[in-house]
Structure 1
């Protein structure tokens, strides 16, 4: 067993090698303070034939890591929670660009959180553990990567803040990369205000992150290189393209390839290229279908990149900074609290807004919080197959859908003034040709306004792309699906006119230089201003239907009256909710009653509750201590019997009083009883 200690960027990391999980290709135990993560890499020795990178990353939290037993009926960890899925995606998106393009060995990276101190950053720790385990596995000539988080407290940037410091920050910036460049970014603004970060400050934060990553990656490579496994895969072992086939495609089928490139819809484009492949296969049997498809993809990609770099024109004939035409419609769904249809080119998002009560908030358990937390602002993103012309069934929420919804939520949540409101936005992607998550942000911001939610400002999103060849590169605004697939970068940026509220950057290269990122940030700002202008024009035309929007009425009663509103087994409150079609939240300790629903129904519900409580008080006032009554048994319970009283109301005859007098009662019996006390609005009885 070997121990390695790394001191960098405000933290001391310990790596125990060859201690556990020794049958994996590589494994290590990562430690930061009281946080321990087991990282393992397993690689199959037989490559797959399909043309994709077979990489799977799984980040798993164990409840025992924080001294907890899982909540819920089943006391065992079940399906992955949102945070686990999002962290798995975070690590995957960082590591995937490092692999050679022709790497085909099934590879699984597993990260198990075995112990966790709430003050440590789990995502940074997990990525660093995964990076170290992958570097040690030496399955390909991969560079070392690391991660850091940047916060901003009192206008000062802080590297790798504690959880306590991050809670005080106006910025949450997660960056990963090599010692030369950045290859993954996630950012969101924090706080009660919008806190949009201006581009020069963002560059300053990224420069600080790059400096931190360079230091850490250098230390990793120096420390871990002596312990690496024997190299498994060398670049160039993939399928070699047939030069004669490439010439054939370029000379005889080039016009058809251009037609396919210029096809705007994914399904149409696939049909064109499938037809070309079929034609060549029938005319030239010496070429396999796999060879044809790979060569066709190569020619297509080369031509798209040439058009953009040399001709400064895009496949759909747009200029590099040109945003596709935008149209916005509102109030399409009469029963929803708000609905916005945002269309940008061939990408279309229908965002529907619904307001709820405290009981509608989503409860989450995680290692990052000592107690379950309530998610009051929810953004759910759905990507049905018909939006790209596919004929397949709609299944469970995918990792991608969860990630896109989370990005849109992060972009919008600081724009909401009242953070106590419970809001659910749902984005239904009806058409997709790139940038659907950013269309969701635009539609979502307008849907908040249309729901009557007070916002600091409108927020718009745009996806930026990049194509590079050698020293030349071109930045693209509002990328299409084809440009996303064939380009080198997908950089989603959301914010208002002043700055950025959220962003996410992925790359297919080993990294992006800071000067290129800054150019993309400035170009995105110009695109964002253009989109926001159209959104503000649409906002002026939105008519908020306040009569349909739910209203909230809050009032207080005596805390001991809450039980009366609930009733035996919840009978009373169920009847009220069903009768008036409202939602009611009750706070027993404070006596607070919160009613939400249609304004007229809310007011009627409040009036009903107050009258109901008043009638109970009047019933009590009709009786006196030691008064003897003739009562009728209404119902028998384990602890006694409830009796209907002659002047209205009911009282409780406890079981011990019945046992003392050896009385056996059944429902409907009449009995003489005596009032002995009034307790929290209840009449206590004894046998007379």
Structure 2
């Protein structure tokens, strides 16, 4: 048994190597306090992947028994991974993928099992710690350790690796991973924002927010200087941790496997020379095409043309000819794109390095949706649709470290159908990429929300066309969709994707990258925020790492671009016309908690009648007496509020109770105000409504109430009973 103990940031970590899961290429049984994870690395050396991609798969799996729990749901066995498991696997994958040798071609699986967990554990940090060491000591020729830290900020002070309670108080959540001193991956979001005052009964629309109606808890954006300070601290901590890993684990690294030449390079010097001499300018012209679809079509036609000519001129050369022509052309394309940027100072679409593509915005184009925004930037187009609801519409979920289930009240769902990139495939279930992009957009937007007006908000982003930065288009469109739905927000949020082309000491930073620059460039850095600062970031890099000098330049250039996008968005916001006919309205107010039971009524009869009568959704909080109403008709929502307040305040206000006005046996002529599934509401003298139950109108199975009675009919009724706030009636037929 090989054991290594590390002390880092006053946290004792114990690594047991190659004792558990000994058949794996590398395995680590990792323990920190009562948290235990098992990370394994396995390699299929008998299979060679010919395609030009790294065949790496990362699985992060939480076992319910780790927290002494049963799996939630009907089937008591772990099955489909949760969103948190999927997103955590992506974090590990994105941190470790850049380390693999360029021509590595063996299918490789990294599996992380959570076996025991404490309530305040940061499982994403622990998972990367375990997986990184398992990879470091495995047979894969990677001798560079990777580690990660999370940076929080409480009372203007940075906290390294905050626990769950500290993170709840933090205004910053910055997750950074790196190798040696270089940064590999960044995930960032800001917390805080604005909440409604507890005594506020309702909130105005987004363009009507007043300072005295809001309560500021903390700043919800981080400026570039703060981010850079946090990243420098993270870099320092990562360097210290990686040095410890190198010192303690280098003796246990296994003999590296010999990488076969398996993945054949089909680049052909003769074909490359032929294209350079005869068709280099034609290939450059293809790259300069503005349309992504047209560029791909012309590139395919170019490959077919070269293939045909080569066959005619070299009939004896047939071995893997198609593959050689294609791969040679693609390598030349990449070289042209990078040379064009680094040496000629040009981009394929003619833009300056700091220039954003043309933007157009349309709002509320879907007449029956609560709100919608069509955001188009260049050849990337996102249709973002908002739906507003009550507490019952929230998504329930359960985390391993939580004692009970929670509710997600702000959801961003990102869809990337194949037709958006011209592919003739059917739409399938969302994958890791869709979940990751939706989560990024959610993190960017949620800190701008003002709590209190709507209990549940769902944004759905349909990517209709994609040529880079579709997640950033989702953020821009999502912020406008919130405004177009009348959702109170502190600021508009815009997103911009930054790129990098780097050769040695020479580099160029690109603003608003398109697909070509993402594919052939070295970095995809997504930055979102308001005019006041950054709300979310995500960085992936294809280089070995990124230094803070370049990082600072990227942040400043992104800020300039974000401000330009926000100006365009502000102009579009000023022209928004709300979908008043379909847009729901809401009221949030409080009554004494002891009165909640009266609003519910015996067996839920009172609340059911309120829902039917006023056509509203009602959420009640028994603990604090909060009442949330929502409905499509503002007048009915207001009336339901007054009705509930009447129930709650009848004793305090000296309100006349129905039993003081009506007696059993009294006969009245009343007007029919509303017909519902279970009966008819009749307006009585003295201002109360009585209920004529369906059984008093028709016998079961003998038609509908509307066959006998209509709205505004006047009928004679007799009082059958008076109970609290209800009057039950019988129909006197003449």
TM-score w.r.t. the length of structure 1 is 0.86
Aligned residue for 1:218?
243
Candidates 247, 251, 254, aligned match of 2:273? 247
Whether 2:370 is the aligned partner of 1:369: answer no
Q: 1:274 Cα shift?
A: 2.0
- Assess if the C-alpha contact under 8 Å between 1:10 and 1:160 holds in 2: no
- Assess if the C-alpha contact under 8 Å between 2:141 and 2:257 holds in 1: yes
Distance 1:648 1:253, change over 3 A: closer
**Cα RMSD between the aligned structures?**
2.9
Aligned residue for 2:685?
none
Matches within 5 A, 1:649-660: none
Aligned residue for 2:413?
380
Aligned residue for 1:69?
70
Following the alignment from structure 2 to structure 1, what is the Cα–Cα distance between the partners of residues 341 and 727? 80
Distance 1:218 1:582, change over 3 A: same
Candidates 346, 369, 374, aligned match of 1:313? 346
May I ask how many residue pairs the two structures share in their alignment? 632
- Assess if the C-alpha contact under 8 Å between 1:61 and 1:114 holds in 2: yes
- Assess if the C-alpha contact under 8 Å between 2:181 and 2:236 holds in 1: no
Distance 1:235 1:435, change over 3 A: farther
Following the alignment from structure 2 to structure 1, what is the Cα–Cα distance between the partners of residues 258 and 610? 68
Distance 1:280 1:649, change over 3 A: closer
Q: 1:246 Cα shift?
A: 1.6
Distance 1:589 1:141, change over 3 A: closer
Whether 2:336 is the aligned partner of 1:335: answer no
Aligned residue for 2:41?
41
Q: 1:574 Cα shift?
A: 5.9
Q: 1:145 Cα shift?
A: 0.7
Candidates 618, 621, 630, aligned match of 1:584? 618
Q: For residues 339-373 of structure 1, give each alpha carbon's deviation from its aligned partner in whole angstroms, at most 9, with x where no partner exists.
A: 11111111111111121111111111012433222
Aligned residue for 1:534?
568
Q: 1:588 Cα shift?
A: 5.0
Aligned residue for 1:92?
93
Structure 1 window deviating more from structure 2 (262-271 vs 60-69): it is 262-271
SS of equivalent to 2:490: coil
Whether 2:460 is the aligned partner of 1:426: answer yes
Aligned residue for 1:495?
529
Following the alignment from structure 2 to structure 1, what is the Cα–Cα distance between the partners of residues 660 and 467? 68
Distance 1:481 1:602, change over 3 A: same
Matches within 5 A, 1:97-112: 97-112=98-113
Q: For residues 593-619 of structure 1, give each alpha carbon's deviation from its aligned partner in whole angstroms, at most 9, with x where no partner exists.
A: 532112133245557778999999749
Aligned residue for 1:480?
514
Q: 1:277 Cα shift?
A: 2.3
Distance 1:393 1:142, change over 3 A: farther
- Assess if the C-alpha contact under 8 Å between 1:489 and 1:505 holds in 2: yes
Whether 2:502 is the aligned partner of 1:460: answer no
Matches within 5 A, 1:201-216: 201-216=226-241
Distance 1:235 1:118, change over 3 A: farther
- Assess if the C-alpha contact under 8 Å between 2:25 and 2:139 holds in 1: no
Following the alignment from structure 1 to structure 2, what is the Cα–Cα distance between the partners of residues 5 and 620? 80
Q: For residues 478-499 of structure 1, give each alpha carbon's deviation from its aligned partner in whole angstroms, at most 9, with x where no partner exists.
A: 0001101110000000112232
Q: 1:549 Cα shift?
A: 2.7
Structure 1 window deviating more from structure 2 (459-468 vs 386-395): it is 386-395
Q: For residues 239-279 of structure 1, give each alpha carbon's deviation from its aligned partner in whole angstroms, at most 9, with x where no partner exists.
A: 34321122122222323322331233443332222222223
Distance 1:571 1:181, change over 3 A: same
Aligned residue for 1:230?
255
Following the alignment from structure 1 to structure 2, what is the Cα–Cα distance between the partners of residues 510 and 91? 16
Following the alignment from structure 2 to structure 1, what is the Cα–Cα distance between the partners of residues 139 and 725? 72
Following the alignment from structure 1 to structure 2, what is the Cα–Cα distance between the partners of residues 578 and 453? 26
Following the alignment from structure 2 to structure 1, what is the Cα–Cα distance between the partners of residues 117 and 87? 18
TM-score w.r.t. the length of structure 2 is 0.81
Following the alignment from structure 2 to structure 1, what is the Cα–Cα distance between the partners of residues 3 and 275? 55
Whether 2:355 is the aligned partner of 1:322: answer yes
Aligned residue for 1:3?
3
Matches within 5 A, 1:88-487: 88-192=89-193, 193-234=218-259, 238-240=263-265, 241-285=267-311, 286=317, 288=320, 289-418=322-451, 421-487=455-521
- Assess if the C-alpha contact under 8 Å between 2:51 and 2:263 holds in 1: no
Aligned residue for 1:507?
541
